[in-house]
Amino acid sequence: MKIGEFVKTADWKNEKHAPLIEAPEQVETAKAFTVELSVGKEIPHPNTVEHHIKWMDLYVKYDDSQFLVHLGHIELTPVLSEPKATLTIKLEKSGTLIATSYCNLHGLWESSKKIEVK
């Protein structure tokens, strides 16, 4: 059994659990840029003690590598914090950003966005 068997993906416009990655499609080498992560931007996700997003993570998988690089982890609390975060990152080369979010009721979700580095 592999963890990947339990990771769900979805079109963020139609699903309130998959994280939305908002970032430029093209950035300059080693120049800082902003990445916004959110869950439920278009369709609000519940934020109660009984049903909430517990955490979000951001990774990059460079095109020329088989490994993920962990860029950040956001721990959230129900009711008082919203599933939104802004990270400032730098990339050395082109790759794919991968975001994961964990809902305490519906498990692990992921989405991705290709970033070209010039």
Q: What is the pLDDT of residue 41?
A: 81
**Percent of all residues in the chain with a pLDDT value above 70, rounded to a whole number:** 96
The catalytic residue positions are 15-17, 45, 51, 103, 106
56-79 pLDDT, tens digit per residue, is 999 999 999 999 999 999 999 999
Q: Which amino acid is at 63?
A: D
Q: What is the DSSP string of 30-78?
A: T--EEEEEESSSSSPPP-SSSS-EEEEEEEEEETT-SS-EEEEEEE--T
pLDDT digits (tens, 9 = 90+) for 22-65: 999 999 999 999 999 999 887 789 999 999 999 999 999 999 99
Q: Measuring CA to CA, how many Å separate 72 from each of 42, 89, 91, 106?
A: 23, 9, 13, 22
| pLDDT confidence bin for 11, thresholds 50/70/90 | low
For domain 3-117, give the fold: Immunoglobulin-like (2.60.40)
The domain segmentation of the chain, as residue ranges, is 3-117
Confidence of residue 91 (pLDDT cuts 50, 70, 90): very high
Residues 6+ apart with CB under 8 A from 30: 90, 91, 92
Instruction: Report d(CA 67, CA 85) in Å as an integer.
Output: 24
Write out the two tokens for 18.
Answer: 């998959």
Query: Which pLDDT does position 1 carry in this prediction?
Result: 83
Per-residue pLDDT at 12 exceeds 70: no
